[in-house]
Amino acid sequence: MAYDKSIAAFEEAYKVIPGGVDSPVRAFSGVEGTPPFIERGEGGYLYDIDGNRYIDYVQSWGPLIFGHCDSDIETAVIDAVKRGLSFGAPTTVETELAQEIVDLFESIDKVRFVSSGTEAVMSAIRLARGFTGRDDIVKFTGCYHGHSDSLLVQAGSGAATFGNPSSPGVPADLTKHTLLATYNDIESVKQCFADSKEGIACVIIEPIAGNMGLVPAEEQFLQELRAVCNEHGTLLIFDEVMSGFRASLKGAQGITKVKPDMVTLGKVIGGGMPVGAFGGAKEIMAHLSPEGPVYQAGTLSGNPVAMAAGLTSLRKLKSNPALYVELANRAKTLMEGFKKAAEAVNVPMVTDVRGSMFGFFFSDKPVKNFADALENDQKLFAKFHKGMLDRGVYLACSSFETGFISTATTDAMIEESIKAAYETLKEITA
């Protein structure tokens, strides 16, 4: 494939946008080549400015569960736009979408909308601190919860440690209250509680991690985590910005028996528009302004265009919950095909699927946490990504990301992708 126009566009963007992109992963720094500049999407395909067509397994990083330009969502957005882009005032569509979410999630009595997943998590943690009167929080290495200051931390030595800033510009005073535990390791969590002098306000976790590759939490671990939180009067927050309505109609909560105290959502509830949300039990949410003292606000929160897109998306999902079986089957077929392609050239690969989410690692052992994920062959992934892109298959441009199937992803697309995997792996291992 030729990428001449994309290369030129990237060079122009670099002059006026830091790194040439508005989100770091888009720069293709973890893989080979230059990012294609996208002109349009259609169903399960992307088209770049050079005229190349790609089978899209990123789907805008998850929200497009019905693919690009779904006619129902498109119509809802156009109708909403005709009534006005934004009002900064209440609309009934906010209540309708909130009711759909409350009806689906047993753990949510009330929900508040924001404009991004980062904002949702930041607000949920503030509310947890205000509700409990404690400052310390626990997160897991490898789980990404947005780029707010207190969550941009990296692990030190030991199973659990107080976090150090992982980005310049983040004061150590803001991250000293963030303790780090190891995913799927309850003993590391217990150590965090032992280390905290003031008590822990909340433990936040991706119950299906999607930002170190696809790494689901084990059921026993989640149950033990719930028990530890109960013992200490600590709130358990499920970050389902990525897995919500993707892993199942009820996200991870349609799979695990564990009930969190609060949930953060995003992606699918925007239907492609920028949306986030956080919700929980009514006694917790009652502490949120204007009912309670914990302040949170957003001029564009509950944007009517985004609400219309999200409401249409969720209602389509609720009307046909069986589609999750179809999506999961396609994801499993894709991963089985990738694995057989790897086996054909004696390359180790492990795969996983949760609903319409899929992930794979070039590794010879199961991946249960971020340390395991770091051992995957990132150089081989970079070559694989480039080979697949050249064959018209658009995968996430990092070995630490998750892939997505949409309802517009056909069996023929899956077969074409598996064929491309065989060809690419044969080429890069020759």
Given this model, what pLDDT does residue 164 score? 56
Which CATH number covers residue 86? Answer: 3.40.640.10
Q: Which of 294, 319, 344 is the last residue of a domain?
A: 319
Element (H, E) at 313: helix 304-319
Q: Token pair for residue 129?
A: 């601190």
Give the pTM.
0.94
Mean predicted confidence (pLDDT) in 181-189: 97
Among 267, 339, 368, 383, the active-site one is 267
Taking a C-beta distance cutoff of 8 angstroms, is the pair 263, 107 a contact? yes
Q: Are residues 182 and 222 in the same domain?
A: yes
Given this model, what pLDDT does residue 151 score? 77
Q: Are residues 160 and 244 in the same domain?
A: yes
Q: Token pair for residue 399?
A: 């070995």
Q: Are residues 81 and 62 in the same domain?
A: no
Q: Answer yes or no: is pLDDT of 158 > 50.
A: no
| Phi-psi map region of 222: left, alpha, beta (phi>0 left; psi -120 to 50 alpha) | alpha
Given this model, what pLDDT does residue 295 score? 95
Q: What is the pLDDT of residues 349-373, one digit of tens each?
A: 999 999 999 999 999 999 999 999 9
Cα distance between residue 45 and residue 384, in whole Å:
20
Q: Are residues 65 and 86 in the same domain?
A: no
Q: Are residues 36 and 17 in the same domain?
A: yes
Mean predicted confidence (pLDDT) in 145-157: 65
Q: What is the pLDDT of residues 212-242, one digit of tens each?
A: 999 999 999 999 999 999 999 999 999 999 9
Q: Are residues 47 and 94 in the same domain?
A: no
Q: Which of 284, 302, 319 is the last residue of a domain?
A: 319
Cα distance between residue 316 and residue 303, in whole Å:
20
Q: Is 331 exposed, middle or buried (0-12, 13-18, 19+ CB in 10 A)?
A: buried
In Å, what is the CA distance from 41 to each residue of 45, 65, 69, 171, 369?
6, 13, 7, 40, 34
Q: Which of 319, 341, 370 is the last residue of a domain?
A: 319
Break the chain down into helix, strand, coil percent, rounded to 5.
40, 20, 40
- Report which of residues 1 and 409 the model is more confident about: 409
Q: Answer yes or no: is pLDDT of 159 > 60.
A: no
pLDDT category, 168, cuts 50, 70, 90? confident
Q: Are residues 50 and 82 in the same domain?
A: no
Q: Answer yes or no: is pLDDT of 152 > 70.
A: no
Q: Answer yes or no: is pLDDT of 149 > 80.
A: no
The answer to whether residue 352 is catalytic is no
Q: pLDDT > 90: what percent of the chain?
A: 89
Q: What is the pLDDT of residues 285-342, one digit of tens each?
A: 999 999 999 999 999 999 999 999 999 999 999 999 899 999 999 999 999 999 999 9
Q: Token pair for residue 321?
A: 């919950």
DSSP class per residue in 128-150:
HHHHHT--EEEEETT----S-GG
- Report which of residues 41 and 27 the model is more confident about: 41
Given this model, what pLDDT does residue 156 score? 31
Q: Are residues 139 and 266 in the same domain?
A: yes
Given this model, what pLDDT does residue 332 score? 98
Task: Count structural domains, the chain.
Answer: 2
Given this model, what pLDDT does residue 172 score? 72
The answer to whether residue 365 is catalytic is no
Strands across the sheet with 53-56, in order?
A: 38-42, 45-48, 53-56, 393-394
- Report which of residues 9 and 159 the model is more confident about: 9
Given this model, what pLDDT does residue 155 score? 36
Q: pLDDT > 70: what percent of the chain?
A: 96
Which CATH number covers residue 40? Answer: 3.90.1150.10
Among 239, 261, 352, 372, the active-site one is 239
Given this model, what pLDDT does residue 336 score? 98
Q: What is the pLDDT of residues 88-114, one digit of tens each?
A: 999 999 999 999 999 999 999 999 999
Among 144, 183, 324, 394, the active-site one is 144
Cα distance between residue 20 and residue 352, in whole Å:
33
Q: How many CA atoms lie within 13 A of 264 on its CB side?
A: 32
pLDDT category, 167, cuts 50, 70, 90? low
> Which one-letter DSSP state was computed for residue 120?
H
Q: Answer yes or no: is pLDDT of 80 > 80.
A: yes
Q: Are residues 45 and 150 in the same domain?
A: no
Phi, psi of 354 (to 5 degrees): -135, 105
Average per-residue pLDDT for the chain: 94
Boundaries of domain holding 385: 4-69+322-428
Given this model, what pLDDT does residue 176 score? 83
Q: Are residues 76 and 62 in the same domain?
A: no
Q: Are residues 132 and 256 in the same domain?
A: yes
- Report which of residues 147 and 131 the model is more confident about: 131
The answer to whether residue 144 is catalytic is yes
Given this model, what pLDDT does residue 165 score? 59
Cβ-based neighbours of 23, under 8 Å, separated by 6 or more? none
